[in-house]
Amino acid sequence: MNQLFYFTMKTLLFMKKALKIFGYILLGLVVVILGLAAYIQLAPMPTYEVKAPDLKIIPDSARVAEGRRIALTMCVYCHRGPDGKLSGDIWNDDDVFGKLWSANLTQHPDAGIGRYTDAELAHTLRTGIKRDGHFAGPFMMFRNISDEDLASIIAFLRSDAPEVQPSERRQPPSELTFLGNMWLKLLVKPMPYPEKPVLAPSPADKIAYGRYLVTGKWECFSCHSAAFETNNLDEPEKSKGYLGGGNPLKDAHGNSAVSANITPDRETGIGAWTEAQFTEAVRFGKRPDGKSLSPLMPPMTVLTDEEVSAIWAYLQSVPAIKHNVKAP
């Protein structure tokens, strides 16, 4: 009897202790979760070191012209302002991430990027880290474009082109949701500045040149693989569903579309297309069936014949993926 009493007491005492410990653990967890939530919501955006390279760009007219061709195809997509300059605008507006505005890229010293040096611009475009140390986001890291093409973009931003003359437009600070904050503060990180020069292959090597255009200069792969989150910027071919489409895209103006499968699969890709049909689609947004492509496929009228032909040749060489993006 005594022994049973003793045993029961001991068990009860043990349970009390265990409950207490469990209580502390639970409390600790709640504190950690609340702390993390408060951090995500309230902490300022993290800043990163700006290690701009030693670089000065000679803005000759060939570079300005080439930079114009690239910037007015690739940067306008996010940076076009209502005044027709590259003065920035609302860029993302949804319930998931919240509101984000793109920056004013005109030469205005305060509202725009007038105070950036060439080197700081190169650093921002490669790493995503702005001059003030804040991270602009993973969509602002141009990893694979060649140093020469990057120099051309910078020469254009510095030129007397009307699109980059000072505009006073200032964008409001972003209004991120909890998820948006978590994403930008914790989940995505800038990339390091490349250690080696980034060179483009010669156009004479058609397939290698086509690969460069698809993965570097015109960024086809980043929209046309499975999702931005699973893209591999350093080794594009390792991106999930490389060029197989299915990436859901939308803009702040209510357009939405799913990117197309541009691998050579005959049924679900562009394997049954001719080069002429492909050229029509890329340059003018016209499909072989006569339908117009969504504005989320930026019409690339400025692509030269040599470029479209190299891109076509390269796309014939990538593995075909069976992925019907138009299926429900």
Is residue 281 part of the contact set for ligand HEC (CB under 6 A)?
Answer: yes
What is the closest distance, in whole angstroms, from the C-beta atom of residue 14 to ligand HEC in the complex?
A: 55
Between residues 40 and 123, which has the closer beta carbon with respect to ligand HEC?
123
- 92 membership: H or E segment, kind and range: strand 90-94
Q: Is 124 one of the binding residues for ligand HEC (CB under 6 A)?
A: yes
**What residue has token string 């579309």?**
257
The torsion angles phi and psi of 256, rounded to 5 degrees, stand at: -145, 150
Q: 47 pairs with which residues across the strands?
A: 134
Q: Which residues contact 7 (CB under 8 A, 6 or more apart)?
A: none
Q: Please identify, among the stretches 26-34, 199-207, 214-222, 232-240, the one whose residues bind ligand HEC according to the rule CB under 6 A.
A: 214-222
Write the binding mask 144 to 183 for ligand HEC: x where contact by CB under 6 A, - elsewhere: ---------x------------------------------
Q: In 10 A of CB 177, how many CB atoms?
A: 15
Q: Does 105 bind ligand HEC (CB under 6 A)?
A: yes
Binding residues with ligand HEC: total (CB under 6 A)? 46
User: CA angle at residue 140 from 166 to 116, to 5 degrees?
Assistant: 40
* 103 lies in the site for ligand HEC, by CB under 6 A: yes
Site string for ligand HEC, 216-245 (x = CB under 6 A): --xxx--xx---------------------
Strand partners, 135: 129
**Site membership for ligand HEC, residue 198 (CB under 6 A):** no
From the CB of residue 116, how many other CB atoms can be counted at a distance below 10 Å? 21
By CB under 6 A, residue 118 contacts ligand HEC: no
**Measuring CA to CA, which residue among 123, 129, 146 is closest to residue 63?**
146
Q: Where are the alpha helices (DSSP H) in the chain?
A: 2-42, 61-74, 76-79, 118-127, 147-157, 178-182, 206-212, 220-224, 275-284, 305-317
Q: How far is CA 294 from the centre of its chain?
A: 19
What residues between 282 and 311 interact with ligand HEC by CB under 6 A? 282, 287, 293-294, 296-298, 300, 311
Q: Which of 131, 170, 283, 286 binds ligand HEC (CB under 6 A)?
A: 131
User: 3-class DSSP state for residue 33?
Assistant: helix
140 binds ligand HEC (CB under 6 A): yes
**One symbol per residue from 37 to 66: x for binding ligand HEC (CB under 6 A), - otherwise; what is it?**
------------------------------
Place of tokens 């694979």: 144
Binding site for ligand HEC (CB under 6 A): 71, 74-75, 77-79, 91, 100, 102-103, 105, 113, 121, 124-125, 130-131, 134, 136-137, 139-140, 142, 153, 218-220, 223-224, 249, 257, 259-260, 262, 270, 278, 281-282, 287, 293-294, 296-298, 300, 311
